[in-house]
Structure 1
Amino acid sequence: MRGILRGTLYCALCYGSIVAGFLFIACPLLPLLLFSPPRFRKCGDLLFSCWELYPTALLNVFGVKIYVSGDHISPHESAVLVMNHRTRVDWNFLWAAMYQACMPNVACHRLKFILKDTIRHIPGPGWIMQMNGFLYITRHWKEDQGRLSRTLDYLIALDSRTQLLIFPEGTDLTKSSKEKSDKYAVQHHLSRYTYTLHPKTTGFAYLAQHLQRANYLDAVYDLTIAYPDYIPQSELDLIRGKFPDEVHFHIRRISSADIPMHDLTLRKWLENRWSDKEGILKRFYKQKAFSAEIWPIKKTLPLQAAFGFWSILTGQPLQKIGTLTYIKIMTLNNSKKF
C-alpha cells in the first residue's frame, strides 16, 4: 500500500506539472507564434528544459540514482541521438541523464523525441510535445517521410541546433518484441540478441542523410541505458511505486566526419552499432556498471528551485478546484436556509 501511495504521488506530480505548465505557461505563449516563430521556439525550448529539471528532482527525492558515463553532449550541436529502448518508461529517466550529460552547463539543450503518432493525442504531454516541435511517425513510410522532411527543413530554416532522439528498435524490449526480433535474425542470418532488438534502419538513415545534405549534422550520440536491479516495464509499475534503485547511461559521441553518407552504408553502420551495444550490455549486466568513471552530479540548487516552482504551480489547479467546490457547497447550504 505504501508503494502504491508513493508511486501515485510521483506520477501525479509529474503529470500534474505537465498539465499545469501547458495551461499556465505554454498556452499564453501561443500568440507569440503568430508574430515571431523563432522567439516562440526559443521560449518553448526554454520552458521545456526548465520543466525537465522537475522529473530529475523528483527522481532524486524518491531515491532513484542516475549514473552517467562516457562522452558529454553539447547542447549547441545539431545531432541525432540513438538509444536502445529497454522499457516503455526509459524516457522518464532520460531527463536526469541529459541534465548530467550536457556540457557546458546551459539551461536549454533542445532535445526532441521521434515518437509514435498516437502519443500526440495524450492530454497534456502529447499537446505540449506538439507545441515544442517533437516529431511523430505513423509507421507508414510515405507519410512519415513527408513529416520528417517538413520538420527538418523547418528546424534548419530557423537555424535551430536541435538534438533529435530516435529509438531505432521501434518498440521496447518485451517477450513478444524479442520473438519478432529473433525471427528477423533467423530470416536474415543474423545473431540473436538478448539485451536489445535488431534496429530498424530506415528512419535513422533518412534523418542522417537529410541533415548531412544540408550540412547540418555535427554528430551522432549513441546512448545505452541499463537497469542493474529492478526493471520497470511500464507506467503501471511506476504507479505501483516499483522504482529501480539505479539507472545507468553510457554515451558515445561520433563526429559527423565519421558517419557514412550513403544509404546502405548508413544502415550497416547502425546495425554494427547495435551489435556493439549488445556486447556492452552483456558486460554491464556482469559488472553492474558501464565504467568506473561516473560523472558527478551537478549542482543541486537548480533542482531544488525547480522542485519548489513546479510543485507550487502543480498545486494551483487543485487549489482552484477545491475553492470552487467549497463555494458551491456553501452556496447550496445558504440556499437551503431561504
Structure 2
Amino acid sequence: MTGWNRVLKFWVIFVIATLNINLVQIFSSPFKLISKSIYTSIIDYSKASFSKFLVILLNLQGNGSVVRVYNPVTVQPQSVIFSNHQLYTDWIYIWTLLYKLESNADHLIIILKHSLKHIPILGWGMQFFNFIFLRRSWAVDNKTLSNQLHQISANSNPYTLLLFPEGTTISNDSRPKSNNFTKKIGVEDFHHLLYPRVTGLLHSLRSLSHNPNLQVIDSTLAYPDIPPGVYGQDWYTLKNTFLRRISPDIIHLHMSSWKLCDIPIHSDDLFTSWLLQRWHEKEQRLRVFQESHTLDPSGKYQDIPLNLTHPLAHTLDAFIYFVPIILVYVLCRLVI
C-alpha cells in the first residue's frame, strides 16, 4: 500500500470510530442526571470500544505487536499502574494489554498532560472517559487530582489508574532538565530514565488509601531496535507507528506488584526512598535489556499478541456499529 493510501485509510477509520464513540458519549449525557449507573455503564462501554479500536489500529496501520510480559501478575479490580515513559504510545500498549488480559480495559483512567484535553474528537472522548489532565503546576493540579480521585474512591466500582511519574518521555529537551534537577538536589541522575516526580503518585495513593489492599503495579517498558544515540520517542513516533509501519514487533514489559498497605505512603521521605528504589531496579532492568534484549535474565516471560480475541464482535464494538444504523434510520424518517 502506498504512503498516501495508508494515510487516507488511517484517517477514515480513525474519524469513523472516534466520531461514533463521541456520539454515544454525547447522547449518554442526559443519563448523568437521570441515572448515574446507566451513564457510567455507557461510558465504560465506549471506553472498552476504544481499547478494541486501538488493537485494530495497531494491526491495520502498524506491524501488529506482541507484548512480552515478564513476571505477569493478575490485575485486580482496583489497581494503580505506574510506568516509565519512553514513547507517546506507551499508554496505548498498556491499555491494549489490559484488553487482552480482560482486566479493566473498560475502567482505565489515565493521568495525562493538560494540552491533550482539547484535541478535537480524541480529547473530547478522553474527557468523557474521565481521564485526569494535569498542568504540571502542583498549585493547580492538587485540586484537580483530589477532586477526581475522590470521585473514583467514593464507591466500590472497579478502576485502574495509570500514570507516568517521569511526567514526560525522554528526549533532547527533558534529559537536560532531569540532569539539572538531580544536580540541584545533589543526587546522581539515571541513564535510561528521567528522575521521577514523587508528588503526584504519592498523592494518588493517599487519596485511594481507603482500600488498603489496593493493588499497585510497577511497569517497566522497553523497546527493541532503537538505533544507538536515538531516543525512543524520536524513532517510534506516532507518524512512524501508524503511517509508516515503523513500530516495535515486541513490546517488553516487566511487572511487579504490591498491596498498598505494604508501601510507606504515611511518610514523604520513606515513600521517596521506596519509589527511587523502584527506579534503580528499572534502571538495572533497562541496562540488562540494552545488553541482552531481555528484562529478565532468567528468560521467563509470556508472549501476548495484541489482536482481537473475538474479531467480528469486537470489530463491531470498536466502531459502535449501531450508531450509523440509528442515524440512517432517523434521517430516513425525517425525509420520508
TM over 0.5: yes
Task: Specify the alignment match of 1:248 in structure 2.
Answer: 252
In the aligned structure 1, how far is the partner of 2:4 from the partner of 2:249?
16
The answer on 1:126 being equivalent to 2:130 is: no
Task: Specify the alignment match of 1:82 in structure 2.
Answer: 82
In the aligned structure 1, how far is the partner of 2:322 from the partner of 2:221?
30
Task: Specify the alignment match of 1:35 in structure 2.
Answer: 34
Structure 2: give runs of 5+ residues left out of the alignment: 227-231, 332-336
Residues 252 and 35 of structure 1: CA distance in aligned 2, closer, same or farther (over 3 Å): same
Per the alignment, in what secondary structure is the counterpart of residue 177 of structure 2? Answer: helix
Task: Specify the alignment match of 1:270 in structure 2.
Answer: 275
Per the alignment, in what secondary structure is the counterpart of residue 21 of structure 2? Answer: helix
Task: Specify the alignment match of 2:183 in structure 1.
Answer: 186
Residues 311 and 229 of structure 1: CA distance in aligned 2, closer, same or farther (over 3 Å): farther
In the aligned structure 1, how far is the partner of 2:258 from the partner of 2:4?
42
The question of whether the paired residues in 1 share the 8 Å contact of 2:224 and 2:250 is answered with yes
In the TM superposition, 1:42-57 aligns within 5 A as 42-57=41-56
1:258 is displaced (CA, Å) by: 1.7
In the aligned structure 2, how far is the partner of 1:49 from the partner of 1:276?
33
Task: Specify the alignment match of 1:95 in structure 2.
Answer: 95
Paired letter, 1:91 = W
The answer on 1:306 being equivalent to 2:314 is: yes
Stretch deviating more after TM superposition (151-160 or 201-210)? 151-160
Bigger proportion of residues as helix:
1
In the aligned structure 2, how far is the partner of 1:191 from the partner of 1:64?
38
In the aligned structure 2, how far is the partner of 1:182 from the partner of 1:224?
21
Over the aligned positions, Cα root-mean-square deviation in angstroms equals 2.9
- Which of the residues 173, 178, 192 maps onto 1:195? 192
The question of whether the paired residues in 2 share the 8 Å contact of 1:71 and 1:253 is answered with no
C-alpha deviations, 1:106-126, integer Å up to 9, x for none? 675511101111211111121
Stretch deviating more after TM superposition (198-207 or 237-246)? 237-246
1:316 is displaced (CA, Å) by: 5.3
Residues 178 and 92 of structure 1: CA distance in aligned 2, closer, same or farther (over 3 Å): same
Stretch deviating more after TM superposition (215-224 or 165-174)? 215-224
The answer on 1:234 being equivalent to 2:233 is: no
Larger Rg: 1
Question: Percent sequence identity over matched residues?
Answer: 25
The question of whether the paired residues in 1 share the 8 Å contact of 2:51 and 2:105 is answered with no
Task: Specify the alignment match of 2:71 in structure 1.
Answer: 70
1:296 is displaced (CA, Å) by: 4.5
1:82 is displaced (CA, Å) by: 0.6
Per the alignment, in what secondary structure is the counterpart of residue 72 of structure 1? Answer: coil
Per the alignment, in what secondary structure is the counterpart of residue 133 of structure 1? Answer: coil
